[in-house]
Chains A and B, each alone.
Chain A
Amino acid sequence: MADAAIAGVPASRPRLDSFWVVPPLLILAALFFYPLSLIVREALGGNEAFTLSHFSEVLSSRRFLDGLYNTIIIATCATAGCIVLGFVLSLVIAFVPFRGAKSVARLIDTFIALPTFLVTLAFTFIYGSAGLLNVSLIRLFGFDLPPVDFLYSQWGVILAETTVYTPFVMRPLLATFSQIDQAQIEVASSLGAKPLRIIRQIILPAALPALVAGGSLCLLLTVNEFGIVLFIGAKDVITLPMLIYSKAIQEFDYTTACVIAVVNVALSLSLYTLYRLIIAHFGGNRAGVV
């Protein structure tokens, strides 16, 4: 009797559970899928007949190709910078004993919460034409023009993005480093391994999943970065988000903007899929390894 009563309970559960999926789906549809569908619709001809002609026109244009090239180069270089800088800084914080290491780690968490333009603004104050560095150099050496002039170029964007997104690599890395068995490092050292070998053969393999996950996240974020590029105001640095902005807001060419937006979304989703696959690979297949 009791068994029958217990057995009867789960039967009515799934219907109730299914109901709760509806509100978030409705919100998602209203806020995300509907606007996205409008963009795709506009890119494919809008109110007129379905056509791919806008795509072929935009995708073959010099401006789009430059934008795509810039986007990929900036995102790749900034991500590489984040990985290298994040790994080195995390190593120092985690393995070099110094007073205040924990405070520095907490500060990095805070850094993630700051708006991206703040770093760009700071860069302008330091490296800009009238920034601290240039003014000091001009006073010291009497230059006619500001000698440091990288900020308004592709390299300025890369440096700013590297600075902003490095904490995204450091957070998972520091979490991983805190779990590495100190005894492994000590035993490796007792076996004759010098620090560089220990980093290469013991720490790096253990940190690889965190490094790849953090790096993938950085790549995803830098591909879509808009604020930093806009704030720096580098005239020759046109990325896909900047191109969408200029087409839609400055030129009122919504169709072209929508086509580029669709490409940007496809690029982002591809990167996100890659990110999930990497996480699944390390989280599943190599769970016992790291």
Chain B
Amino acid sequence: MSADTPSEARARFEAGDFRGARNAAQAGLENTPDDPDLLRIAGRAGVELGDADAAEQLRRVADMRPDEVESWRDLGDALAAEGRTGEAADAFRRVLKLSPDDEAALTALGHAAYVTGSGADAVSYLEQAAERAAGASTAMISLVDMYREMGQPVDALAAAVKIAEAAPTNAAAALDVAELSLQVERFDEALRAFERTRELDDVAEHEVYALHGMIHVEMRRGDFERALELAREAGGVDRHGRTAEVLAFLEARESGDSGDEATNLEEVEGALSASLAEHRRLHAQDSRFEDGGD
């Protein structure tokens, strides 16, 4: 092994050249098979490349250096990448023993708890992680969904607001705030968030969904006149007639000819809720898995 091998492997890893890093580290390991630094780089690069033996290499590092936080975090990362969630959680617990504030470990344990059906533990871990993180952390993002599922819309809204503040150009984050604000009847906040969604979504055909949200807010707070104005605006951008029923109801109500108003109101609210669900579905489908474009 050249004296430069570990540093070359490390440099390649940090430059994102995982294949080069792994090859350099593996070459070094042929001479010094128990070198923990080389095993670590080979294992970390192997995790990125999907190597089958990455977790075992990192387990060896953890066995050799059990007092290092990084060893257990790497191992947890490798095991989680293989879908061995329970074993990953064990590794992350070792991280927490050594470093009780470790955000990555808390986040991982939160998700592992959720996967194993322990919602309360999941929330507890993720709240701790979110406290320690800045901005739109993984923990905070997942908390929005978990609070929502646990029937805690106020908490979900608080988390969603933090994410939207940290990611002010993110349409999906604004939609979360809008939806949850409407649910907890914070109408002004909901209206602002729907307007924000409308601004941020670059697909012109999605504009109608944001307008439907705004109509919904105005109807909920009893401003039917404003709701009618918005419905007319929505009708102008809605080439598929999704607003027709809402507009007909609001115009009939304005002219004092609303028939069985309670029944009709229920149907219109149902249609607006369906539109909101469609809007959410479109954004959920849009969620890519990768790091982002370049």
**Does B associate with A?**
no
